[in-house]
A and B are shown apart, each in its own frame.
Chain A
């Protein structure tokens, strides 16, 4: 099903899986529908073998694509996610990834350059100082994880729409794709990229974004599930090609809008 997930070079794969062990599909079992064996009664009732992994998974993925469209229709462009007072911030804010914190990427701010590509007028890379110099704003919003938990955080940064305008992005393109230092990646729809609360984040809780939360830059989207909010972003591309993403390729819903 999914492409082999990217891993951080030099990091033990077993360690990588540890944190998300209960969430990851067992590659040896491949189809995640084996767990459906207990639905034998249902198979009996319906007369068709819904535990037939390959075909069922194909249908489920098609419905998931249909749900992407349904969510794009549901998306009300100007509608803002609820914001909260400082007192509502979750402390400590959880760290969550498919690896442990000590395995998170360490980006050297002096060497950092954000590469910008695809359908943009100006594709020169951006240093951190250049990015920090752009107009910033703060949002205190709820981060909702695909696992179900949520936490309220404070993020400060540049509107992605502002940045896209400055690099002369063709906003008629369908997607914006992000690549991260550890190989994680994400594709989002242009409507969400232009949402006023979609932010290139440089600060968390008024401090420079710590390593745990994606130093030097994460993309914060209160209108999408947490895994669609990439951390350690090193490249972005404006494109008409859906390049998928780390979790999306494994089966999480692509749109994952809130």
Chain B
């Protein structure tokens, strides 16, 4: 509509471009709310982990949130509402608007392998931000699954009696703690790759802020 209007005039107004909308407003809001929620959940979760570590290490206190176990738990059980409500809105809109179907499907193993090869040899193009390559599709779809599992395993740890069927699904309370930790690790790894890519392709960061 905009493009048509521009053609009927001699020249487009200065500074106006007809760049297509890459990310609608709801995607951008949900993305940045999720950044805040995830940062709170992960850093407070590290502090909770330190109270009874599953492995032979603790997270440095300086990068944890809460100051002590009780403080960390307060943050964790406050930010969970932000994470859950925002996540539900995002997933609902993603399915209802068809965005997930259009943007993320299909994901074929062959395309993923080809795109990984292309990425490693520096031949993977990010010219069109509106179209995700196969690696992006796999990672974005995958991290949503991880996001759902991290919430469900978290609920299993929080309510192992009231939600005992769910906890049993993860193999019991102790196993659910490991699942919860593994999901956190996957999320942190994803964020690392995601941020590196955003820095390598700054236009993608701009698109997540302005939409274009």
Chain A interface residues toward B at CB < 8 A: 22-26, 29, 31-36, 38-39, 42, 45-46, 57, 59-61, 63-64, 67, 74-76, 79, 81-82, 142, 144-150, 222-223, 247, 250-253, 257-258
Known: A145-B52, A148-B48, A149-B52. A35 touches B74 (CB 8 A): no
Q: Which of B75-83, B127-135, B196-204 contacts A (4 or more CB under 8 A)?
A: B75-83
B77 touches A253 (CB 8 A): yes
Answer whether residue B173 sits at the interface, using C-beta atoms and an 8 A cutoff: yes
Please measure, in the bound complex, the distance between the C-alpha atom of A145 and the C-alpha atom of B43, giving whole angstroms.
Answer: 20
Please measure, in the bound complex, the distance between the C-alpha atom of A59 and the C-alpha atom of B70, giving whole angstroms.
Answer: 14
B160 touches A144 (CB 8 A): yes
Please measure, in the bound complex, the distance between the C-alpha atom of A59 and the C-alpha atom of B78, giving whole angstroms.
Answer: 9
In the assembled complex, the CB of A41 is this many whole angstroms from the nearest CB of chain B, namely 8
Q: Which B residues are in CB contact (< 8 Å) with A223?
A: 161-162
B50 touches A35 (CB 8 A): no
Give the residue among B49, B64, B159, B162 with the most A Cβ atoms within 10 A: B162
Answer whether residue B142 sits at the interface, using C-beta atoms and an 8 A cutoff: no
Please measure, in the bound complex, the distance between the C-alpha atom of A145 and the C-alpha atom of B69, giving whole angstroms.
Answer: 12
B36-57 contacts to A (CB < 8 Å): 36, 39-40, 43, 47-52
In the assembled complex, the CB of A149 is this many whole angstroms from the nearest CB of chain B, namely 4
A63 touches B78 (CB 8 A): yes
Q: Which A residues are in CB contact (< 8 Å) with B75?
A: 60
B154-197 contacts to A (CB < 8 Å): 157, 159-162, 164, 173-174, 177
In the assembled complex, the CB of A124 is this many whole angstroms from the nearest CB of chain B, namely 34
Answer whether residue B150 sits at the interface, using C-beta atoms and an 8 A cutoff: no
Please measure, in the bound complex, the distance between the C-alpha atom of A79 and the C-alpha atom of B160, giving whole angstroms.
Answer: 12
Q: Which B residues are in CB contact (< 8 Å) with A222?
A: 161
Answer whether residue B106 sits at the interface, using C-beta atoms and an 8 A cutoff: no
B69 touches A76 (CB 8 A): no
Q: Closest 4 A-B residue pairs measured CB to CB? A: A32-B67, A32-B71, A251-B70, A35-B67
B49 touches A31 (CB 8 A): no
Please measure, in the bound complex, the distance between the C-alpha atom of A22 and the C-alpha atom of B43, giving whole angstroms.
Answer: 17
Q: Which B residues are in CB contact (< 8 Å) with A38?
A: 43, 62-63, 65
Please measure, in the bound complex, the distance between the C-alpha atom of A35 and the C-alpha atom of B68, giving whole angstroms.
Answer: 8
A22 touches B67 (CB 8 A): no
B73 touches A146 (CB 8 A): yes
B69 touches A82 (CB 8 A): no
B65 touches A142 (CB 8 A): no
B162 touches A253 (CB 8 A): no
Known: A60-B74, A79-B161, A144-B160. A33 touches B52 (CB 8 A): no
Please measure, in the bound complex, the distance between the C-alpha atom of A60 and the C-alpha atom of B40, giving whole angstroms.
Answer: 13
Q: Which A residues are in CB contact (< 8 Å) with B162?
A: 74-76, 79, 223, 257-258
16 more CB-based (< 8 A) A-B contacts, given A31-B67, A142-B160: A23-B70, A26-B68, A32-B67, A33-B67, A35-B47, A42-B36, A42-B39, A45-B35, A57-B74, A60-B75, A74-B162, A79-B164, A82-B161, A146-B69, A147-B69, A258-B162
Give the residue among A31, A39, A145 with the most B Cβ atoms within 10 A: A39
Q: Which B residues are in CB contact (< 8 Å) with A257?
A: 159, 161-162
B68 touches A32 (CB 8 A): yes
Answer whether residue B66 sits at the interface, using C-beta atoms and an 8 A cutoff: yes
In the assembled complex, the CB of B28 is this many whole angstroms from the nearest CB of chain A, namely 13
In the assembled complex, the CB of A49 is this many whole angstroms from the nearest CB of chain B, namely 14
Known: A33-B67, A222-B161. A64 touches B77 (CB 8 A): yes
Q: Which A residues are in CB contact (< 8 Å) with B47?
A: 35
A23 touches B51 (CB 8 A): yes
Q: Of B63, B68, B78, which contacts A60 at CB under 8 A? A: B78
Please measure, in the bound complex, the distance between the C-alpha atom of A54 and the C-alpha atom of B160, giving whole angstroms.
Answer: 33
A148 touches B67 (CB 8 A): no
Q: Of A22, A46, A144, A253, which contacts B73 at CB under 8 A? A: A253
> 11 A–B contact pairs at CB < 8 A?
A23-B51, A23-B68, A25-B67, A25-B70, A25-B71, A36-B67, A42-B36, A42-B39, A81-B161, A147-B51, A253-B77
In the assembled complex, the CB of B35 is this many whole angstroms from the nearest CB of chain A, namely 7
